Amino acid sequence: MDFFTPVVDDPYRYGAIAAANALSDVFAMGGTVLTAMSIVAFPSCLPTAALGDILRGGVDKVHEAGGTMMGGHSIEDDEPKFGLAVTGTVHPQRLITSQGGKTGDLLVLTKALGTGLLTTALKAEVIGEQDMEAALAGMERLNRAASEVMRAVGVSACTDVTGFGLIGHALEMARASAVELIIHADSLPAYPHAVEMAQSGLVPVGAFRNRDYYMPDVTGTERISEERIDLLCDPQTSGGLLISVAPDKVDTLLAQLEQAGENAAIIGEIGNGNAATITLI
């Protein structure tokens, strides 16, 4: 289950993004979406047509994911909120979790970073939605195709990247797999204007919380620029998949992801240093 307040002004896109974000957890585990139920809070002062657009965006994404919208529940609230409770299925022997990362694996990220930075700038009216079209399209894009590719290729571990930022979800994998993750900061893909917003100081509160909580288990920060640290800690909305894959499979994985329309990038590897830690280089 996942829901949040609007990240964009367009109600249809907001509904689609919130739904894609909620559906992502099933895809991160190699699962198939079965059903979804909507979670809605909506103020009486806004037009009901906007609520209809939000719901339509959510339903369209559920259908695109191969699932069925079964209904939901709504309440009146001062601020709009929307999301989904999702049910999926996966064969127990084909379940992909964050626990299987192995020393020598390469780390592949399927979407760029920076949605938190950009939506913060949007709310501050520093940029408009036309300035973050690439990020909007990325947030709307389901992780379904990437999930199908990684299932077909066979990978060691996976997690999706959402509110805890790349740093938090990567550390989750490091802890679950009892390995050291090495992340190449300069290899991190960023949406247009995201680094610029970090340099301008338009950093969301969630990024500071992520930094405070996760950085004690991260080394090498002194060699990394502040805007790259901000990018690592930036809370993502409907982010991509972080995949741990054996070196002999990475070329096949990247080629098939590209064929599926994903612009994936290698951002690091699993080392043999201290377990449950991240090293930045």
* Site of tokens 């709504």: 74
Contacts 24+ apart (CB under 8 A), 132-138: 132/191, 132/192, 132/193, 134/191, 134/192, 135/191, 135/192, 135/194, 136/8, 136/13, 136/17, 138/111, 138/112, 138/191, 138/238, 138/240
What was the pLDDT predicted at 171?
Answer: 98
Mean pLDDT of 110-119: 98
**Is the distance from CB of 143 to CB of 240 less than 8 angstroms?**
yes
pLDDT for the residue numbered 99:
97
Distance CA 195, CA 231 (A): 7
Tens digits of residue pLDDT in 214-228:
999 999 999 999 999
Confidence bin at 103 (pLDDT 50/70/90):
very high
CB-CB contact of 53 with 115 (8 Å)? no
Residues in the chain: 281
Q: Which amino acid is at 225?
A: S
Q: What is the pLDDT of residues 46-93, one digit of tens each?
A: 999 999 999 999 999 999 999 999 999 999 999 999 999 999 999 999
Q: Going by C-beta distance under 8 Å and a sequence separation of 6 or more, which residues neighbour residue 181?
A: 101, 107, 170, 171, 173, 174, 268, 269, 270, 271, 277, 278, 279
Whole-number pLDDT of residue 181: 98
DSSP letter assigned to residue 141: S
Instruction: Report the top-level CATH class of 2-90.
Output: alpha beta
> pLDDT tens across 140-150, in order?
999 999 999 99
> CATH 3.30.1330.10 spans which residues of the chain?
2-90
pLDDT of residue 42: 98
Cβ count within 10 A of residue 153:
19
pTM score: 0.97
How much of the chain exceeds pLDDT 90, in percent?
100
**Beta carbons of 231 and 116 less than 8 angstroms apart:** no
Domain 96-280 -> CATH class: alpha beta
What does the pLDDT read at residue 67?
Answer: 98
CA atoms of 57 and 13, how far apart (whole Å):
6
| Distance of alpha carbon 3 from alpha carbon 175, whole angstroms | 26
The residues facing 82 across adjacent strands are 4, 40
pLDDT tens column, 157-213? 999 999 999 999 999 999 999 999 999 999 999 999 999 999 999 999 999 999 999
Give the whole-angstrom CA distance, residue 194 versus residue 121. 9
Which residues of the chain are in CATH 3.90.650.10 domains?
Answer: 96-280
Query: What is the rounded distance in angstroms from the CA atom of residue 162 to the CA atom of residue 201?
Result: 21
Mean pLDDT, residues 131-135 taken together: 97
Quote the mean pLDDT of the chain: 97
